[in-house]
Amino acid sequence: MAAVKLTHHPNTVPLLVKGQRVALADYITSTCPTIVGPKATFTPTSYLFNGHLQTGYAAYYNSSTTDNDIVYQRQMLDLPDGGHLALDWTPPNQPLDNTPVLVALHGLTGGSHESYIRSVLEVVTRPPFNYRAVVMNCRGCANTSLKTPQLFNGAYTDDLRFVLKHLQEVLPAGTPLVGIGFSLGANILVKYLGEEQEKTPFKAAISVANPFDFMKSSQSLDENYFSRSVYSATMANNLKRAFSKHTDILGQDGKINVEEVMNSSTLRGFDDACTRKMFNYTTVNNYYRDASSCRFIEKVRIPLLCFNALDDPIVPESCIPYDEVKVNPYVVLATTEKGGHLGWFEHLRQPTRWIVKPLAEFIVAMFKIHDIRESPTEMEPDTIAQNVDTIQAAE
């Protein structure tokens, strides 16, 4: 058992809560007992005692079905350059009223089917929470076709910008939006927030297992045989599988040598053969520098909660921008000693993700400030974790 550790500016930004100004850190303390206080501890499943095991179990967990499977309603959104992507809404077939909306961004080659997304949505979109969620699936992901020779990358934020513009057009004015990103999606979200600053329509955001510094993460993945042959190779193979579904259109403009891409054996090799060329970077290092959200987190101007595990084998602690967090009063960083990459599994039998509890608490706390419905969701902080346990027990 280890306590959650918080890092933040000594004077976090004041929030207007029921007519009173409350510092962000103090508001989290009063509304999120699994982030701050005696209950803010994470005890990993005993047989998932390090980051490698937590990360590996996440892959197994993603393939399991549960009684709480999420049902989506898919909307294909045309993009300004002729491409398109899929928005998956849940609950499906609901009127677009002013119910608060959680906007989720997935990790590398992922989508709305990923268990780390479903584990949060199965909670916050169901009683007693009853929020709405929409997952932005990147181009070519989640069983979608490509209409232009472009995939996605960690630096490209224009698609998210367009999705948010669309949401503002279809949702009633004043509908609160909170963003949550996982891994690569967390990096895209934080980079976007730093670019947009006060102009974003998000009221708050959450970053989970953000790589932050692509250069350092890449160096860590390549520094030894195990990381290179397991993690880097696995991510490269996932990217190649995504690429192989669209080789006809991706090879159209002559930028990409398909054979070179398919022969890449590491993440860096794929990014050198494909990503940097597709997005016109002269070197893969220049892409990594441009993509790293650690360069943008200092400019974020909405409440942002970042969650990282210090034993994450893909995002080592050296990637975490502690100094930049400390100078930005809008950001609170929460770290746990254990958890792996997108893991945080607890309990001996049928492990479930502990992190859903602090995430749900923060989501409820942020929506509570901005919910404009006549009868908004009301839950006491101490009951949120109990409700999460109840919902997860049905998995």
Q: Dihedrals φ, ψ of 79, to 5°? A: -105, 160
Q: Which residues of the chain have pLDDT under 50?
A: none
Residue from 262, 227, 327, 294 nearest 10 by CA: 327
- Estimate the share of the chain in helix, then strand, then coil, as percent rounded to the nearest 5: 40, 15, 40
Query: For residues 134 and 156, what is the distance between their CA atoms, to the nearest angstrom?
Result: 19
Q: What is the pLDDT of residue 1?
A: 77
Map out the domains of the chain with their CATH numbers: 2-213+292-393 (3.40.50.1820), 214-291 (no CATH)
Q: What ranges in the chain are assigned the alpha helix state H?
A: 24-31, 51-62, 115-124, 158-170, 184-196, 214-222, 225-227, 233-244, 247-250, 258-262, 267-270, 276-278, 284-291, 322-326, 356-370, 381-393
- The per-residue pLDDT for range 218-247, each reduced to its tens digit, is 999 999 999 999 999 999 999 999 999 999
Q: What is the pLDDT of residue 290?
A: 98
Q: What is the pLDDT of residue 63?
A: 65
Pairing of strands 202-208, 5-8: unpaired
Contact 371, 100 (CB under 8 A): yes
Residue from 205, 207, 204 nearest 369 by CA: 204
- pTM of structure: 0.97
- Which H helix or E strand runs over 23? strand 20-23
Active-site residues, by number, are 183, 312, 341
